[in-house]
A and B are shown apart, each in its own frame.
Chain A
Amino acid sequence: MQDLSLHILDIVENATQAGATLIEIDISEDIGKDTLQICIKDNGHGMDAEMLRRATDPFVTTRTTRRVGMGLPLLKQAAEETGGDLLITSELGKGTRVVATFRKSHIDRRPLGDMGATLTTLIMGNPDLDFRYASNLHEKEVEVDTRSIRKELNGVMTINNPAVIALIRDLFNKGED
Chain B
Amino acid sequence: MAKLKVEDLKRIKESMKGTVNLRQGDYRVKVTVHMGTCGIAAGARKLMTALLEKLEKSGATDIILTSSGCAGLCNHEPMITVEAKDSAPVKYVKLDPDKVARIFDEHVAGGHPVAEYALSIGSETTY
Nearest-neighbour CB distance to chain A for B80, whole angstroms, equals 12
User: What are 10 A-B pairs at a CB distance below 8 A?
Assistant: A6-B40, A6-B41, A71-B37, A121-B35, A124-B66, A144-B3, A156-B21, A157-B21, A164-B12, A165-B52
Chain A interface helix/strand/loop/mixed: helix
Which B residues lie at the A interface, using CB under 8 A? 1-4, 6, 8-10, 12-13, 15-16, 21, 24, 33, 35-38, 40-41, 45, 48-49, 52, 55-56, 65-69
Q: Are B15 and A9 in contact (CB under 8 A)?
A: no
Determine if A51 is an interface residue (Cβ-Cβ < 8 Å).
Answer: no
Question: Given the complex, which residues of A lie within 8 Å of B16, measured CB to CB?
Answer: 156-157, 161, 163
Bound form: Cα–Cα A154–B16 in Å: 13
Q: A10-B40, A164-B12, A167-B8 are in contact. Are A124 and B3 (CB under 8 A)?
A: no
Question: Given the complex, which residues of A lie within 8 Å of B41, measured CB to CB?
Answer: 1, 6, 10
Question: Given the complex, which residues of A lie within 8 Å of B40, measured CB to CB?
Answer: 1, 6, 9-10, 13
Q: Are A157 and B48 in contact (CB under 8 A)?
A: no
Q: Are B48 and A117 in contact (CB under 8 A)?
A: yes
Chain B interface helix/strand/loop/mixed: helix
Q: Are A163 and B69 in contact (CB under 8 A)?
A: no
Nearest-neighbour CB distance to chain A for B96, whole angstroms, equals 15
Question: Given the complex, which residues of A lie within 8 Å of B24, measured CB to CB?
Answer: 158
Lowest 4 CB-CB distances: which A-B pairs, in order? A125-B67, A162-B56, A163-B12, A171-B2
Question: Given the complex, which residues of B lie within 8 Å of A156, measured CB to CB?
Answer: 13, 16, 21
Closest B residue to A1 by beta carbon equals B41
Nearest-neighbour CB distance to chain A for B4, whole angstroms, equals 6
Q: Are B9 and A171 in contact (CB under 8 A)?
A: no
Q: Are A149 and B52 in contact (CB under 8 A)?
A: no
